[in-house]
Amino acid sequence: MAAEFEARLRAASLRVTEPRLAVLAALRDHPHVDTDTVLALVRADHPAVSRQAVYDVLRALTDARLVRRIRPAGTTARYESRVADNHHHAVCRRCGAITDVDCIAGTSPCLTASDDHGFAVDEAEVVYWGTCPDCATKDPLEVTEGRR
């Protein structure tokens, strides 16, 4: 997998560095995580990587469109490496869990605006809100983690 990450970085005209490879690996294995979680995951294998380095890597990877930053209303920013398609997200109102939802109609962008006002639309963002299966089986007072 490292070879694939190296190729993606080079194709985006980015230098191949250990922090960049570590962030890509963390996001591959743990989609929809916040910056602090990315930092913890990277430091598990690379303890010397600084917080600022992770911030810089996330910004560079997002700018290069190798990583997608999502921020459903009322939540902290999360990152994912699934960028090759236009998919949406379902967010649990109780615990904050986020999962991918494939487009239900057509190709990217899977939603066509009734009036695009001249915009060249290249992405549509839909967030489905509800209760995840884990939280649905718990007492509502039990679940507070993830709510902000």
pLDDT tens-digit map of 2-32 = 899 999 999 999 999 999 999 999 999 999 9
Average per-residue pLDDT in the chain?
88
Tell which CATH architecture fits domain 85-148: 2-Layer Sandwich (3.30)
Q: Name the residue ranges covered by the structural domains of the chain.
A: 2-70, 85-148
Nearest 5°: phi and psi at 106?
70, -165
Give the mean model confidence (pLDDT) for residues 85-104.
Answer: 88
Q: Which helix (H) or strand (E) holds 128?
A: strand 127-130
Which residues share a beta bridge with 99?
A: 90
**Range 2-70 has CATH code 1.10.10.10:** yes
% of the chain surpassing 70 pLDDT: 89
Q: pLDDT at position 148, please?
A: 41
| DSSP per-residue string spanning 67-108 | SEEE--TTS--EEES--SS--EEEEETTT--EEEE--SSSSS
Q: Tell how strand 88-92 and strand 78-80 pair up.
A: unpaired
